A and B are shown apart, each in its own frame.
Chain A
């Protein structure tokens, strides 16, 4: 473990993610109900799905990196640093300071730029291309949403299904834990956790995970309470099927639609929370939130520097809108209550 460099780990994780996406697609294809739901979803929200897919592609391209291949005389990067596909596409675009979009000279001072006219969205105070920074933010946002969900959803299922299925003392304990956590104000608890856990991507994800699993835990507990009284679960128990097998074969598959809905609806909230944390100075490096926070004082300049905040803001808005819109449709497609409600 200690000999693996971070970039190799990131490459392996990307491979794992691609395999996971492939496996999930196969899984959905093999089941009629899920296949029809996926088809229904696609026909409802084509544009949003393509848009979200674009963000995922950018994030994946930024996660695959390797060393070497840097042309001679490139001073912007360390000679032996691993660079991702996105890094390589923007190699040698660094200026000395601010440049407006498509400008040929520096924003303040008017010195000629190294690469005039090449910055579609301008550059930031350190001369970094804003388009490049915005694209790199996609990976950070997906990482925050994805890693946090990977922490929060299994945690919620473990406690929620366990409490709902076994009941008794364990249920009392879980219910008490949930009501305790739920009564602490979310943002304050989040801030306190990060102050205590320290900064960094993983600490932020753990803190977000701890503050966001409660809602789904309550939902899965209530759902399991209903499911375990159903005839087929009772029949399985009467036939002597083991508890673990009942949970995995009869309870969890019936929670699958809730897991998908929760994941998508949770995701956008998590990315938005990170933006607030960045403003408080306890966010994740390279996120859109940090770009917005770094650029907000530049709006008071005259003439104003608007392209930083506009780029980061629209990148964030685009992802959240796509995910929210897909999430809305997923809920309509998968949630049986909205189907029979006929709203």
Chain B
């Protein structure tokens, strides 16, 4: 077991290093520091201004270790990212770490209710559809899921803002207020839209999971013993389906922290998704690569935790 944990940890570290290398390739070699400087300063900026900007932002060094072993951007990139020293934004010189700390709260206040309410909506619905399998209700449910999945999330957002925000005036169209009394009013619309745009795929996924469980032998045994269909669905099928459902939920947890880019930008929630969108519009490469890194890191840690907990519970799990 100890050897397994060690190997899995080593692999996780390897993947983090791999992600950092891909980021370096993207943000330092494909887009050279000269390009970043020119995007920040404008195409016509004189050469000495560009040099000065590069010096200020720490880009004025050779890229690779074989050019200068002590002072190169590759090692610097690794050292800074691994020690969470993200430096300053390329666009407005604000410290990136501060911004991330400020954005985490609003992002979580959107994504946590979204995940929980989404589960509360999707699981009973998919259980219902699976209960009525191979009837018109099932076919209708699957058709509605495909229908819901075929609408672009942009249209869900714009439609909800227009209908509920502008015509019916139930909730504000966009905005954010950290005051706990006001917060639900601002979050109602984005959470609603988020659930709606995800529910088609979710219900279809959970339906498949439930259907797989309901062909198992223990379900037949329960039915033979005279258990009611409702009891079979809840006590036998749902219970056993909890493992794949939990896996999906656990793997979604890392993404709670990075927020939702679309929802935050449209509804004016100052979370990490908004920071990313602002960085795109401002050509802020240092913030963007930090956001990709943090997202990847959270995902890798989440996966590591899932795998290790499986390893603890299930002795058959062996690392390939």
Chain A residues with a Cβ under 8 A of chain B: 175-177, 179-181, 183-185, 187-189, 191-193, 195-197, 268, 272, 275-276, 279-282, 289, 292-293, 296, 299-300, 309, 313, 316-317, 320-321, 324-325, 328, 341-343
Q: Are A179 and B280 closer than 8 Å at their CB atoms? A: no
Asked if B288 is at the interface of the complex by the 8 Å CB criterion, the answer is yes
**Given A196-B26, A299-B158, also A183-B150 (CB < 8 A):** no
Q: Are A275 and B149 closer than 8 Å at their CB atoms? A: no
Of B19, B142, B155, B258, chain A has the most CB atoms within 10 Å of the CB of: B155
B residues near A195, Cβ cutoff 8 Å: 31, 280, 283, 285, 288
Q: Are A183 and B162 closer than 8 Å at their CB atoms? A: no
Q: Are B158 and A292 closer than 8 Å at their CB atoms? A: yes
Main secondary structure, interface of A, reads helix
* Subset of 5 A-B contacts with CB under 8 Å: A183-B300, A185-B255, A195-B280, A196-B26, A328-B146
Nearest to B299 among chain A residues (CB) is A183
For the complex formed, measure the closest distance between the CB of A118 and the CB atoms of chain B, giving whole angstroms: 27
B residues near A272, Cβ cutoff 8 Å: 152-153
Q: Are A276 and B31 closer than 8 Å at their CB atoms? A: no
**With A and B bound together, what is the CA distance between A180 and B303 in angstroms?**
12
Q: Are B295 and A188 closer than 8 Å at their CB atoms? A: yes
Of B18, B211, B277, chain A has the most CB atoms within 10 Å of the CB of: B18
Asked if B151 is at the interface of the complex by the 8 Å CB criterion, the answer is yes
**With A and B bound together, what is the CA distance between A324 and B144 in angstroms?**
12
- The A-B contact count (CB < 8 A) is 121
Chain B residues with a Cβ under 8 A of chain A: 11, 14-15, 18-19, 22-23, 26-27, 30-31, 133, 142, 146-147, 149-155, 158, 162, 166, 208, 211-212, 215, 255, 258, 261-262, 276-277, 280-281, 283, 285, 288-289, 291-292, 295-296, 299-300, 303, 320
CB < 8 Å: which of B142, B151, B208, B291 contacts A188? B291
Q: Are B146 and A192 closer than 8 Å at their CB atoms? A: no
CB < 8 Å: which of A183, A187, A197, A316 contacts B296? A183
Q: Are A192 and B281 closer than 8 Å at their CB atoms? A: no
**Given A282-B280, A292-B154, A343-B133, also A299-B166 (CB < 8 A):** yes
